[in-house]
A and B are shown apart, each in its own frame.
Chain A
Amino acid sequence: MRPVLRSPVGAASAVLLCLLVALAVFAPILWGDRAAAIDTDALQQGPSSAHLLGTDQLGRDIFYRVLVATRLTLGLALLATVIGVTGGLLLGSAPSVLPRWAARIVTSAVNIAVAFPGLLLALFFAVIFGTGTVGAVLAIAFAITPSFARLTQTLTASVSGRDFVKAARVCGVGRFRLLVRHVLPNIAEPLVINATMAAGTALMAVAGLSFLGIGVQAPSYDWGRLLGEGLNRIYLSPAPALGPAIAVVVAGLAFNLFGEAAASLAGRRQQQRQEPVTHESVVDTSAGGLLTVRNLHVTFPGGVRAVRGVSFTVQDGEMVGVVGESGSGKSLTALAVSRLVEHPGVVSADRLEFNGTPLARTSDRELGTGLAMVFQDPMTSFNPALRIGRQVAEVSEVHQGLSRRAAFAKAVDRLRAVRIPEADRRARQYPHEFSGGMRQRAMIAMGLMGEPRLVIADEPTTALDVTVQREVLRLLARIRAERSAAVLLISHDITVVAQTCDRVLVMYAGRIVEELPTSELFTSARHPYTTALLAAVPDLDTDRDAPLAVIPGRPPEPGEIARGCPFAPRCPVAEQKCRLEEPSLVSVDEGHQVACWKLDAELVEAAVGGAR
């Protein structure tokens, strides 16, 4: 509750609600007589200093009548809400306690009722219960019930699927107890928020019925009735109609906004301020390649530095692997070098060049045809609403000026090239009709629509099973061989990289900690992290009785990188210096760079021995 009050909207609406309650309690006591006082000398007057909103046909002061009517209006609305919400709760939670056939009847009844707008239900019940106060309250209550029952049902169903409820069920907790002890407490918050908003709706609905003349009847009066009376003479003076109208709107808004503030609080992520991050430039004289990356940084608001000074080069036709745990910045590096990092992420680099031109100035056409992307999850990477062929064809339509028909024919051809059977028919299907492996091949086919110089594959096999993995990796290797395209393969699996790539970049906490040719990976890897990764890979000689080797601890979150080498807390050979200063990448051999203070061969040797 307290955080709600801290937001300006929440605080304002809370103050309004308190004011309304105070009015409802005290207004009839303080001004009841003045609101009922008949003044035959001042019939149907417009607003004046004596009567702020004028007088009605009996000369009663409308302003005081509006104030006094707060009690009846608010009371009726709250009563209707309480009855409606209670009914909705009972109906909504009944299916989880009732036998299955009864549950089904209740559910379908609610489903049918919820399709009808509340006002229509209210009119229906108003006929049955008769015009008048009781009829109006019951009508509104019954109109609220179905939608609240539906809400309860939906929420209950979502919680029932969670593990703790399943666990309780397995433990033999009864259905009723399950509902009361495990389910309802977990859906209480959205229910309360929605009940608050329902009160706002009920208030306006009661006013609406009274306004139509089928709610509160004279001599009682609520805002709706006052509004209806005011509307009849709106030509003479708008104030008697606008007064109660404003009261209804303000009160309804107070409920709605309070609920709204509480709801948005439940869903909103903490907002962080953007801090400028400055990076030291490193003087760079090295030659570039097809893809040249120097001192690349990717930062997010709140000083989160996800990629911190990464430099590497990919040559024409080369296959380079990037390895690291999740959160190491490898995927963001891939996105940054393909110019796909979105606001609020900020990319900066001393050099970021594709094919000799800065990436920022490369045309969309050149990137669209020359740089192919393959993403991690083929299940979500295709647009579910468009046919596969159309999605594959799009590149040629947009960048190569092909007609829709010609582009589609080319897409079928490319789908055939990635060995999709019956490509002609398949191209006319939707993504959900494709298996995961086929989608990933279709994704590669999409990259082949142009003349790719570089394929960036971000965990292309992670979501696939092992046999399909091999197919996709072979396909990438084939493309590389046939089209002399370079491949940047990002993976958390060091064996995949070792099998397919020429060079490996090992990333940890947003930096490259080691770079070396794959041929030397198993013999001369020197960074303790790399050796630990290698040690964690089981092979045929692994003792199957011993637990699998793991790297103790977890990598730091991008926001929590402190001083020193980020691997130091998990490093078996870390010493004082490692915890104070971060090592930079130094060349130790031809094509081999390591960022580690402990380059002493013996100690690294000891680390490998220790980890095994």
Chain B
Amino acid sequence: MITVERVRGSAWLPFARRRALRLLTSLWVLVTAAFLMIHLIPGDPVRESLGLTAPPEVVAARRAALGLDDPLVVQYWHYVSGLFRGEFGTSLVSGTPVADLIGDRLPATVQLAVLAFVVVIVVAVPVGVVMAVLTKGGRRRGGELAFTSVSVVLAAIPEFLLAVALVSLFAVQLGVLPVAGNDAAGSWVLPALALAVGPAAVLARIVRVELLSVLGNDFVRTARAKRLPARLVYLRHALPNALTATLTLGGMMLAALVAGTVLVENVFAWPGLGSTIVGSIQQKDYPAVQGIVLVYGVGVLLVNLVVDVALALLDPRSTIREA
């Protein structure tokens, strides 16, 4: 076996270096993919965007304005250096800078995603822990079956369908909550719920399963042999060890939740990036799509980074093990 003599601090440096390298690679891939998107579209994106009836001179002028006639490498250089200056290009439809568009729309999306994520965590972790404790060692088969079935069904309903069902029930039938927009405080409830229910169901199941498998570990028996109160055995000894897997999967779900806002925003006419990107795709406003895809991608990368750092803090072995 390896006697790890090194101090904890020294494990952090390689971890940080590795993680930074991965982040930069991913960023590069993302930027390149976003850049190439316009060029991978079959045919002429400007022609596609302006329509078949547009006079050739207009198309040519627009192409020149967008720099599409330059060699690919030059375009790439302009694109990347522009990003460093905070320039995302100009919308083909409105003629305004895409950066302004993003600046307008991003906050609403971030707020919605964060709210939904908080709901997920606050609901899923306690529910998962309680279910694990109640069904430990094959007790309460009925409760386990009910929990599993309900969570499977809830998890399988896509957020936009749930959103439709919620709107139809609470906004249309009962009329207690607004059907769209984000003006009133009440208008946050349904979108956040639509986004949170599925991931919360999945996460609660993961927490339960992980906690149950951790409870089978030798060190939990050690904790019980110390006759610690059950609360300490579950919360201090078992839960942190269950959280590593939970967090890994939870991070992926948070990333998916970021993407899920696209659909939910469209149901609730939420003034965020999600409703913008769909409109831009339909109008073939490629610079806008490019910019928004980039923002979503960076959002996902940031979520992954935060999760990795949290994992390393929570489980000191993961910084070493990963190598």
Interface set of A (CB-CB < 8 Å, partner B): 9, 108-109, 112, 115-120, 123-124, 126-128, 130-131, 200, 204, 207-208, 211-214, 227, 231, 234-235, 238, 241-242, 245, 248-249, 252-253, 256-257, 260, 271, 301, 338, 340, 342-344, 364-365, 367-368, 373, 375, 377, 379-386, 391, 394-395, 398-399, 430, 432-433, 435-436, 443, 446
CB closest chain-A residue, reference B165 = A245
Q: Does B282 contact A (CB under 8 A)?
A: yes
- For chain B, what secondary structure do more than half of its interface residues adopt (helix, strand, loop), or is it mixed? helix
Complex formed: what's the CA distance from A118 to B263 in Å? 13
Instruction: Tell me, yes or no, whether B229 is within 8 Å of chain A by CB.
Output: yes
Stretch at the interface among B101-109, B119-127, B132-140, B182-190: B132-140
Given contacts A342-B137, A368-B227, A375-B222, whether A119 and B317 have CB atoms under 8 Å apart is no
Tell which of B68-76, B80-88, B150-158 binds the partner: B150-158
Given contacts A120-B297, A433-B4, contact A207 B158 (CB under 8 A): yes
User: Whole-angstrom distance between the alpha carbons of A120 and B277 in the complex?
Assistant: 11
Count residues of chain B with CB under 8 A from any CB of chain A: 76
Q: Are A123 and B262 interface neighbours, CB within 8 A?
A: yes
Q: Are B219 and A384 in contact (CB under 8 A)?
A: yes
Across the interface, A377 reaches (CB within 8 A) one of B218, B236, B277, B320, namely B218
Candidates B40, B161, B314; contact of A128 at CB < 8 Å: B40
A119 B256 Cβ-Cβ under 8 A: yes
Closest to B253 in A: A117
CB atoms of B237 and A120 under 8 A apart: no
Q: Give Cα A301–Cα B224 distance, bound, in whole angstroms.
A: 23
Taken together as a complex, chains A and B put the C-alpha atoms of A115 and B304 apart, in Å, by 8
Q: Is the beta-carbon distance between B262 and A235 smaller than 8 angstroms? A: no
- Check A238 against B315 for contact (C-beta < 8 Å): no
B316 at the interface (CB under 8 A from A): yes
Pair B226/A375 contact, Cβ less than 8 Å: no
Could you say which residues of chain B place their CB within 8 Å of the CB of A212? 262-263, 266, 278
- Asked whether B256 lies within 8 Å of A394 as measured between CB atoms, the reply is no
Which of these, A120, A130, A430, contacts B42 with CB under 8 Å?
A: A130
Cβ of B181 within 8 Å of any chain A Cβ, yes or no, is: no
Smallest Cβ distance from B223 to chain A, in angstroms? 7
CA–CA, A131 and B227, complex, Å: 63
Cβ of B161 and Cβ of A340 under 8 Å apart? no
B164 contact from A227, A377, A380, A398, Cβ within 8 A: A227
B 156-186 to A, binary, CB cutoff 8 A, 1 in contact else 0: 1110110011011000110000010000000
Q: Report B-chain residues with C-beta under 8 Å of the C-beta of A245.
A: 161, 164-165
Q: Is B291 in the interface zone, CB < 8 Å from A?
A: no
CB contacts (< 8 Å) of B241 on chain A: these are 383-385
How far is A119 from B282 in the complex, measured between Cα atoms in Å? Answer: 16
CA distance A124 to B277 in the complex (A): 10
Contact A234 B262 (CB under 8 A): no
Q: Report chain B residues within 8 Å CB of A127.
A: 37, 41, 281, 286, 289, 293
Nearest 7 pairs of A and B residues by beta carbon = A368-B227, A343-B137, A117-B259, A364-B227, A373-B225, A119-B259, A380-B218
A110 to chain B, nearest CB (A): 12
For this complex, 26 residue pairs linking A to B, each with C-beta atoms less than 8 Å apart, are A117-B300, A118-B256, A119-B263, A127-B37, A127-B293, A128-B37, A207-B158, A208-B263, A212-B278, A231-B164, A234-B164, A234-B172, A238-B173, A241-B164, A245-B164, A252-B158, A253-B153, A343-B139, A365-B227, A380-B217, A381-B218, A382-B219, A382-B222, A383-B223, A398-B228, A446-B226
**Bound CA span A120–B273, Å:** 13
Instruction: For B136, give the chain A residue with the smallest CB separation.
Output: A343
- B29 close to chain A: CB less than 8 A: yes
Query: A242's contact among B158, B160, B165, B301, by CB below 8 Å, is which?
Result: B165
Contact flags (1/0) for B193-210 with A, using CB distance below 8 Å? 000000000000000000
Contacts of B41 in A (CB 8 A): 127-128, 130
User: Given contacts A234-B164, A235-B179, A382-B222, could you give 18 more A-B pairs where the C-beta distance is less than 8 Å?
Assistant: A116-B300, A117-B252, A117-B258, A123-B259, A124-B37, A127-B286, A127-B289, A204-B161, A211-B263, A234-B179, A238-B168, A245-B165, A271-B138, A368-B227, A384-B317, A385-B314, A398-B226, A398-B229
Among A116, A367, A377, point to the contact of B255 (Cβ < 8 A): A116
CA distance A343 to B137 in the complex (A): 5
**A384 to B242 alpha-carbon distance, docked (Å):** 11
Question: B131 at interface (Cβ–Cβ under 8 A)?
Answer: no
B255 contacts A131, C-beta separation under 8 Å = no
Q: Are B168 and A340 in contact (CB under 8 A)?
A: no
| Distance of A365 Cα from B228 Cα, bound (Å) | 9
Does A383 contact B219, Cβ atoms closer than 8 Å? Answer: yes
Closest-by-CB residue of B relative to A122 is B259
Distance (whole angstroms) from the CB of B268 to the closest CB of chain A: 11
- Contact with A384, one of B152, B164, B296, B315 (Cβ below 8 angstroms): B315
Contact A367/B42 with A115-B300, A115-B301, A381-B219 known, Cβ cut-off 8 Å? no
Contact residues, B1-58 vs A (CB, 8 A): 1, 3-5, 8, 25-26, 29, 33, 37, 40-42
* Smallest CB separation, A123 vs chain B (Å): 7
Q: Which residue of A lies closest to B267 (CB)?
A: A231
Q: Which residue of B lies closest to A126 (CB)?
A: B281
CA distance A116 to B26 in the complex (A): 10
B172 to A235, Cβ gap below 8 A? yes
Q: Is B240 an interface residue (CB 8 A)?
A: yes
- Given A115-B301, A208-B158, A231-B164, check contact A123 B281 (CB 8 Å): yes
Q: Is B1 touching A436 in the complex (CB atoms < 8 A)? A: yes
Interface hub of B4, B218, B227, B320 (most chain A Cβ within 10 A): B227
Interface presence of B78 (CB below 8 A): no
Is B232 at the interface (CB under 8 A from chain A)?
Answer: yes
* Given A117-B259, A124-B33, A211-B263, CB of A253 within 8 Å of CB of B314: no
Beta-carbon contact of B152 and A213 below 8 Å: no
Chain A residues in 8 Å Cβ range of B168: 234, 238, 241-242
Q: How far is the CB of A605 from chain B (nearest CB, A)?
A: 43
Q: Say which residue of A112, A394, A436 sits within 8 Å of B226 (CB atoms).
A: A394
- Residues of A within 8 Å of B158, CB to CB, are 204, 207-208, 248-249, 252
Q: Give the interface centre of B152, B218, B225, B229 by most chain A CB atoms within 10 Å.
A: B225
Q: Which residues of B are found within 8 Å of A208, using beta-carbon distances?
A: 158, 160, 263
- What CA separation (Å) do A373 and B226 show in the bound complex? 8
Contact A430 B237 (CB under 8 A): no
Contact A256/B156 with A130-B42, A436-B1, A446-B226 known, Cβ cut-off 8 Å: yes
B191 at interface, CB cutoff 8 A: no
Q: Complex: how many Å from CA A510 to CA B236?
A: 35
With both beta carbons as reference points, the residue of chain B lying nearest to A114 in the complex is identified as B252
* Residues of chain A within 8 A of B179, CB atoms compared: 234-235
- Are A119 and B224 CB-contacts (below 8 A) given A227-B164, A234-B164, A432-B317? no
Chain B nearest CB from A76 CB (Å) reads 15
Residue of A nearest to B220 (CB): A383
Highest count of chain B CB atoms <10 Å: which of A120, A211, A227, A446: A120
A124 neighbours in B (Cβ, 8 Å): 33, 37, 293
Please pick, from A214, A248, A382, the residue contacting B161 in the complex, using a CB distance under 8 A: A248
Tell me if B315 and A385 are in contact (CB < 8 A). Answer: yes
Contact between A108 and B25, CB atoms less than 8 A apart: yes
Residue with the greatest number of chain B CB neighbours at <10 A, chosen from A211, A253, A301: A211
Tell me, in angstroms, the Cα distance from A433 to B319 when the chains sit together: 13
A520 CA to B255 CA, complexed, in Å:
69
Q: How far is the CA of A117 from the CA of B262 in the complex (A)?
A: 12
Q: Could you tell me if B217 and A115 are in contact, using CB atoms closer than 8 angstroms? A: no
Q: Which residue of B lies closest to A264 (CB)?
A: B148
Whole-angstrom CA separation of A385 from B237 in the bound complex: 8
By beta carbon, the residue of chain B nearest A128 is: B40
Q: Does B260 contact A (CB under 8 A)?
A: yes
Cβ distance B16 to chain A, nearest Cβ, rounded Å: 18
The answer to whether A433 and B5 touch (CB under 8 A), given A112-B29, A123-B277, A234-B167, is yes
Closest-CB distance, B238 to chain A (whole angstroms): 9
Q: Is the CB of A120 within 8 A of B293?
A: yes
Please tell me which one of the listed residues A118, A214, A379, A430 contacts residue B317 in the complex, with CB atoms under 8 A apart. Answer: A430
Contact B152 A123 (CB under 8 A): no
